[in-house]
Amino acid sequence: MSARVHPRRVRRLKGGPEGPGPVVYWLSRDQRARDNWALLFAQDLALEAARPLVAVFCLVPAFLGATRRQYAFMLRGLAQTAAELARHRIPLLLAEGRPEEEIPRVLARLRARALVTDFDPLRIKREWKAGVLARVPLPVYEVDAHNLIPCWLASPHQEWAAYSFRPKVRRALPEFLTDFPDLEPHPHPFGEVPPWPPVEDVLARLPVDPGVEEVPHPQPGEVAAHKALADFIARRLAAYPQDRNDPSRQGQSGLSPYLHFGQLAPQRAAWEVYHAEAPPEAKETFLEELIVRRELSDNFCYYQPRYDQVAGFPAWARKTLDDHRRDPREYLYSREKLEAACTHDDLWNAAQREMVLTGKMHGYLRMYWAKKILEWSPDPETALETAIYLNDRYELDGRDPNGYVGIAWSIGGVHDRAFAERPVFGKIRYMSRQSLARKLDLRDYLLRFAP
Ligand code: FAD
Ligand code: FO1
């Protein structure tokens, strides 16, 4: 197997005759040259067989409703990664279309020896992978390069809450929270490949909704991601516990777009924070979010096939929402009204505008934002659909297991417990504007995102 990658991080999805050509890494979730276990594993396979190593990205138009905003951030990051891979004599090929067709086509053309893929629990990715597996003869490996503890190892089943998942993570961390080996310049060159196309050309031919503008920051790409991590550790980690839930302070790390597109390895962030000079409780609080909460989201999407449906909510939550399905709604807003931030609630409108304008809503307000959509929608199904639609249309970090789980936690009590019963919510945890206004000074947030 691989000299540098923990063997339990790798699964062989299928065997088969190895071709005479290069090892191919199909890069999808983990779009980076540095700190990428799937790439390192592919390189070890290629080194063992003295073969070239080729990476391929399959660009899929209209990925889960992504707009120009997300494609631009992703493609600008990929252009940097392509250059970094080229410096290591590992070409990055760009395929465009349906992965089930394009990946087998690339493998056949290259007469590939083996295929390495990265791990992603989302339904669409599993469908792509099943389609590729059915069409290729060669061995295919899957490497979880996103979770510190490979998702299928962290727990053998769906976890009901963080308290049952945390001890499993703690027990496994010493084995998996390590530093990364460097990517070696590859000694077996592959030869000429088409240069990575200019981002503007690719964007111009993508049929994406231009209605959601690119955002000026954060700066996309691996270099900016590492700078953002270093800046957070140096200037904001120490105050994270007290500042992270205050929208008037820049208390969060701002890393989610980089983690979502795989431009930064979560394990790199964990490793650097773990070894940083900072108060232990600040490090603990951040690692709880980065490791336990984030990997709990992968656990939910991996084991709960209906992670984006009311049917995926726990039974107690489905029952209580049903019991209150006919409760009168004091306010009812259409998706269009919500999208335009035209409600009676100035705080909710400000959070919606923050998301539309900046591509990243403050984490604490995301809970309030989703819960109000439940309160102001005709039924839980409409609320869930609306929250996912708006989140994935405007957030840079959207279309992510964290998003499906964050919304299901807010609307459907996933990983949460029952609370005192009330209209519409039943026993789902309620958040009121008054309770937030008591805890937080919202004045400058409301000013910043006023209409
Ligand atoms: P920080 O507070 O700096 O946290 C660092 C990292 O820890 C985050 O990037 C994330 O990977 C992880 N993390 C932090 N909080 C959570 C959490 N509650 N659940 C899971 N992981 C967490 N996150 C997304 O990545 N994409 C989404 O689309 C998304 N949608 C959400 C929708 C709702 C309704 C809610 C309640 C939460 C959502 N989250 C989502 C989770 C969380 O709000 C964001 O990950 C966080 O705000 C990102 O900003 P940050 O990186 O600056 O966070
Ligand atoms: N992954 C791909 O392999 N090909 C794509 O074209 C692609 C587009 C895309 C657009 C927006 C977005 O938020 C994610 C996108 N992804 C794409 C997937 C992404 O890399 C992540 O793997 C998942 O969204 C997170 O699980």
pLDDT tens-digit profile, the chain (451 residues): 678 999 999 999 999 999 999 999 999 999 999 999 999 999 999 999 999 999 999 999 989 989 999 999 999 999 999 999 999 999 999 999 999 999 999 999 999 999 999 999 999 999 999 999 999 999 999 999 999 999 999 999 999 999 999 999 999 999 999 999 999 999 999 998 999 999 999 999 998 888 899 999 999 999 999 999 999 999 999 999 999 999 999 999 999 999 999 999 999 999 999 999 999 999 999 999 999 999 999 999 999 999 999 999 999 999 999 999 999 999 999 999 999 999 999 999 999 999 999 999 999 999 999 999 999 999 999 999 999 999 999 999 999 999 999 999 999 999 999 999 999 999 999 999 999 999 999 999 999 999 9
What topology does CATH give the domain 1-146?
Rossmann fold (3.40.50)
What is d(CA 259, CA 255) in angstroms, rounded to the nearest whole number? 6
Q: Is 392 in the pocket of ligand 2 (CB under 6 A)?
A: no
Which ligand is nearest the CA of 362, by number? 1
What pLDDT sits at residue 209? 81
Architecture (CATH level 2) of domain 310-449? Orthogonal Bundle (1.10)
Q: Is 269 in the pocket of ligand 1 (CB under 6 A)?
A: no
What is d(CA 219, CA 211) in angstroms, rounded to the nearest whole number? 20
Closest CA to 366 of 376, 382, 352: 352
Q: What share of the chain is helix, strand, coil (3-state, %, to 5)?
A: 50, 5, 45
Residues 6+ positions from 119 with CB-CB distance below 8 Å: 29, 38, 142, 143, 144, 145, 146, 147, 150, 151
Closest CA to 184 of 88, 65, 101, 106: 88
Q: What is the pTM of this model?
A: 0.98
What pLDDT sits at residue 138? 98
Q: Tokens 């309770």 belong to which residue?
A: 435
Distance from chain centroid for Cα 410: 18
CATH no., domain 147-182+221-304: 1.25.40.80
The domain limits of the chain are: 1-146, 147-182+221-304, 310-449
Distance 21 CA to ligand 2 centre (A): 27
Give the position, in ligand 2's atom list, of the atom nearest the Cα of 29: 22
